[in-house]
Structure 1
Amino acid sequence: MNQWSGVNALCYYLAYILEIYLGFSQSIALILASVAFTQYAVFSWPPYFYIDRIGRRRTVIWSSVGCAACMAIIAGCLLNSSYTTSAVAVAFMFLFLDCFTMGILPVSWSYSAEVQPLRVRNKATAVGVFSHWMSNFVVVMVTPIGLNSIGGNYFWIWAIICASFVPLTYFFGVETSGRSLEQIDQMFFEHPRWLMGVEADCTKVVKQTAEDEEMRHKAYAKYDGFDQKEKHVEVVHHEEAK
């Protein structure tokens, strides 16, 4: 979803699109692109404060809705270029980057590791990173061909793909916010089915305070310590028996 949202189809060629398709001068196009990327970096911080409160699923769903709407408006503006439509297109390009970086971007990097079984987490994460950059390569190589062939209609494709993320997340995505990795594993064991997104227990956001986290970690530490102590006693008894 990170790459197939079309974010890099826009980012990599933003200055080119502004200059060729919207009629801005080269200097203005570069200034607008630099401002857009600065804003992109700034808006990557807010998810830190709400991603665990509202949950991964809602974050991705609302982000996808915003990205799809922005791409559709950008596509419409590029079909009939004028001063007004150019201004609207630039505004929604900025808004698209905001919607993406406040939803799909942060979840995509954490979610893959969270839902993988412990025994294959390292391999699965490697596959995820590989597919991420291979998708990036495909998108960036295809974009010039798409723009030259169908112009602004190219962005309708990304609007449709972003819209498809909503049902995909709703029906297949589980909620990992507030759950430990062990609890996520248990969730897959208890509700093994294709459409796990329709299971109420798999989609609710678990609200945990800092005190709850502290107690949980202390409980794990206490259990591990007790377990190690028992093993030590067993070894001593075994040696004495010898």
Structure 2
Amino acid sequence: MVGRLNVYTISIFVALGGALFGFDIASISGVVGTDQYQKFYGNPLGTTQGSITGAMAAGSFIGALSSSFLGDKFSRKVSIQIGAVLWCIGASIQSASNGVAMLIAGRAIAGLCVGLTSALVPIYQTEIAPRKLRGRIVGFQMFAIVCGIMIQYFIQYGCSFINSEAAFRIPWAIQTIPAVILFISLFFLPYSPRWLASKDRWDEVLRVLAFLRTANGNPNDPLVIAEYREIEDQIRSEREANSNSFHELFSQKIRKRLFLSMAIQMWSQLSGINVMMYYIVYVLKSAGIANTRFAASIQYIINVVMTVPCLLWIDRWGRRPSLLIGAPVMSFWHFVIGGLLMRYGEPNPAVNEPETLIVVGHPAVSRTILACSYLFVATFAVSWAPISWLYPPEIAPVRVRAKSVAVATATNWAANFALGFGVPPLLRSISWRMFFLFGAFNIAAFINVLFALPETKQRTIEEMDEIFEHGEPLWKTFRAKGETDRLDKLARDIELYASVASKS
């Protein structure tokens, strides 16, 4: 139990890297509708607002790609510390910005941090987590993201009543606090045992595994030795292959996993979740909701609450069923919102507004759109949200894990940038059709998962080669009930051998 407590504690602290991502999302959604922000930055609309929002994702794209080199060379945890420093610099520039150009620069620098942490935090969590709890442990990344969104949004909401520039400068400055906590706490956390193994620091590997898996740090525990031997065998077989990791990333054996990781990250963005995060105020204004900021605050609470069931049961439910159920349900909510806006929306008489279509005089329709927005976010939180961060690091071999996750996460940020930049002009040009577009994306995601994604629950990350090479139908990839657990069997064999040796 103490071993699990160690893993939970470590994962919670390192997940502050995910909280920074959440702070970024709410740092825009909480201010775009305020008079103070609009007045100071010259009422940014269309591509101008898209550039402000998308700057973070552009920086994150570069940060995600650089994480492959930094994570392998300097370790996962040191690279996350580098990201925390970059975040403090970027947040400071945003808080002190004197115009749109400086704000964009600050968001791009902070984005370098988000790119690094969004790639490396799930890797670190994956590499320290017990196989039976890996979904929950890596899910803390998503839980930290949604908590960061909610906390920052309420800070923004409270500061919005300040009738000065402090309404947005104070919340942007406060963003440095979790980054400082993350930077300091990482000095006290262990290195990833898989990274240590890749550097041949085997004594430290055994010591870290004992700390993570046992109550008293016993290196002679059979399960500790069994996992140690699995890591050792995996590292040895990878070195015997003697291939260039960048070349192997696109080899026939690995590219299926790489493309699947990229697809999962891409579909999570194309689900439309960041439309409901960055620009929820615009959506609610189109729906004719009066107090949009208060209505949005409820959505962020729902986002946090509905992430909890997935954390508790993802290792029982599995990855595949959660994605297959979540995608078509999210598509349904988009189609309902788009259909109601098409039927009841009227041209907005105000010219300089983000919304060109609004619902007027139909309170039941407005409430239905609001409810569908809430249900969409709840569906995403309980299905795709944690798995999009969990799946890429758990299926990649250790020799290419940092590079594979870097490319997958960069795909996430490329899609994020495109949406952050493109949604404001899309809302002004195609209005309700945009929701039909995201609904279609979710249908495509369902088809992709149905035919390409194998189940990985309850398996060690050293067993992923077996999962992707067994050749059976996808729904049979997970271990059948009653089948012997390989790691437990190895631990029993070690325990039996030690018992026989002690008697002789």
Q: Does 1:91 align with 2:91?
A: no
Q: Does 1:131 align with 2:411?
A: yes
Is the partner of 1:2 in helix, strand or coil?
helix
- Residue 173 of structure 1 corresponds to 453
What amino acid does structure 2 have at the position aligned with 1:5? S
Displacement, 1:187? 2.1
What amino acid does structure 2 have at the position aligned with 1:22? A
Q: TM-score, normalised by structure 2?
A: 0.40
The structure 2 residue matched to 1:49, chosen from 303, 307, 312, is 312
Q: Deviations over 1:62-90 (max 9, x none)?
A: 01111011111111122213222111110
Where in structure 2 are there 5+ consecutive unaligned residues?
1-266, 345-358, 499-504
Q: What do you get for the CA RMSD once the two structures are aligned?
A: 2.6
Displacement, 1:168? 0.6
- Residue 239 of structure 1 corresponds to none
Is the partner of 1:119 in helix, strand or coil?
coil
CA contact (8 A) 1:9 1:143 kept: yes
CA contact (8 A) 1:146 1:154 kept: yes
CA contact (8 A) 2:456 2:467 kept: no
Q: Deviations over 1:131-163 (max 9, x none)?
A: 212211111111111111111111000001011
The structure 2 residue matched to 1:201, chosen from 476, 481, 493, is 476
Q: Does 1:62 align with 2:325?
A: yes
The structure 2 residue matched to 1:218, chosen from 491, 496, 500, is 491
Where in structure 1 are there 5+ consecutive unaligned residues?
227-242
Moved more, 46-55 or 167-176: 46-55
- Cα distance change, pair 136–219 in 1 and its aligned pair in 2 (3 A): farther
- Residue 14 of structure 1 corresponds to 280
CA contact (8 A) 2:340 2:369 kept: yes
CA contact (8 A) 2:326 2:384 kept: yes
Displacement, 1:178? 1.3
CA contact (8 A) 2:455 2:474 kept: no
Q: Does 1:121 align with 2:387?
A: no
In 1, Cα distance between the equivalents of 2:329 and 2:381?
A: 11
- Cα distance change, pair 39–216 in 1 and its aligned pair in 2 (3 A): farther
Q: TM-score, normalised by structure 1?
A: 0.80
CA contact (8 A) 1:175 1:205 kept: no
Q: Deviations over 1:160-200 (max 9, x none)?
A: 10111111101000000111112221122332xxxx7x444
Displacement, 1:16? 1.8
**Which of structures 1 and 2 has the larger relative contact order (alpha carbons within 8 angstroms, sep 6+)?**
1
- Residue 341 of structure 2 corresponds to 78
The structure 1 residue matched to 2:429, chosen from 137, 149, 155, is 149
Displacement, 1:104? 0.5
Q: Does 1:110 align with 2:383?
A: no
Q: Does 1:30 align with 2:293?
A: yes
- Cα distance change, pair 101–218 in 1 and its aligned pair in 2 (3 A): same
In 2, Cα distance between the equivalents of 1:98 and 1:175?
A: 23
In 2, Cα distance between the equivalents of 1:77 and 1:120?
A: 47
In 2, Cα distance between the equivalents of 1:29 and 1:173?
A: 38
Q: Deviations over 1:105-126 (max 9, x none)?
A: 1111110112212321111111
Moved over 6 A (4+): none
- Cα distance change, pair 134–110 in 1 and its aligned pair in 2 (3 A): same
Displacement, 1:205? 5.8
CA contact (8 A) 1:22 1:78 kept: yes
CA contact (8 A) 1:54 1:205 kept: no
- Residue 234 of structure 1 corresponds to none
In 1, Cα distance between the equivalents of 2:403 and 2:467?
A: 21
What amino acid does structure 2 have at the position aligned with 1:218? A
CA contact (8 A) 1:60 1:104 kept: yes
- Cα distance change, pair 51–83 in 1 and its aligned pair in 2 (3 A): same
Is the partner of 1:46 in helix, strand or coil?
helix
Displacement, 1:214? 7.9
Displacement, 1:206? 5.1
Over the matched positions of the two proteins, sequence identity in percent amounts to 26
In 2, Cα distance between the equivalents of 1:214 and 1:22?
A: 54
How many residue pairs get aligned? The number is 214
In 1, Cα distance between the equivalents of 2:448 and 2:268?
A: 14
CA contact (8 A) 1:75 1:153 kept: yes
What amino acid does structure 1 have at the position aligned with 2:294? I
What amino acid does structure 2 have at the position aligned with 1:182? E
In 1, Cα distance between the equivalents of 2:489 and 2:398?
A: 19
